[in-house]
Amino acid sequence: MRRPIVLITASVGTQVDEYAQAVAEAGGEPVRLDSAGAAGRALENAQGLLVSGGGDVGPSAYGAPNSPSIEDVDAERDALEIGLIRAARERRLPTLCICRGLQVANVAFGGTLFADIPAALGVAALPHQRKGGDGRNERGLIAEHVVRIDAGSALARIVGTTEVTTGARHHQAVERCAADLRVVARTADGIVEGLEANFVSPFWLAVQWHPESTRELDGGASRALFAAFTEAARLQAGHALNR
């Protein structure tokens, strides 16, 4: 059987190499999508949807006022991904949302976001991003960024543990969780790190960290996420052939 097609969303002109490599390693066929004009046909041909990281979700998408903390808003991408996430739900398409992807998924189903974690939590906030010597966000693990996962969740079953040290590159986070989703993981400061669906889906998972960047670093948890997602997409492809 040919590899299942996995759409990977992105802003125009940005790289998706790590996401694509992680999907390919797990047995999927990654296809980049950054154009609303191609979205309908692409979704019809896909067996999985991966909503990737990126800039901030525009506050207008969740009814919030603008904030000086908001940066790199791409309103066209917001609209594209909100539409894709909702359409994927209707099609019961396996979906994996990463970092910004978790945030935009929460917004797509009616939730809200903190515009800025340090502003919301103050000194109680853990480091959810860390700059390297070159001024860029570090892409590896952050020792203090330990995600605690609900024992009965699909996420815990997939990664094989209820506690995992992860990387992090975000300053926004879920404030009010959408009713159609449920929180299954947090850091010690209360920031939401994992969401699962309250609706029927063969696979629906959102994580706030970046498993595509830590596949070599976390004892197999990141690879397990991509393996489970891609396997669900493979099964989706098999169902389509048998219809």
The set of catalytic residues is: 99, 210, 212
Strands 48-51 and 5-9: parallel
Q: Which of 140, 138, 170, 167 is nearest to 72 (CA)?
A: 170
Q: Which of 205, 133, 127 is nearest to 169 (CA)?
A: 127
> Residue 40 burial (CB < 10 Å; 0-12/13-18/19+)?
exposed
Q: Which of 28, 21, 9, 20 is nearest to 234 (CA)?
A: 28
Sort residue 58 into left (φ over 0), alpha (ψ -120 to 50) or beta: beta
Query: Per the structure block, which two tokens stand in for 52?
Result: 């990737």
Query: CA-CA distance, 149 to 207, in Å (whole number)?
Result: 11
Is 28 within 8 Å of 21 (Cβ atoms)?
A: no
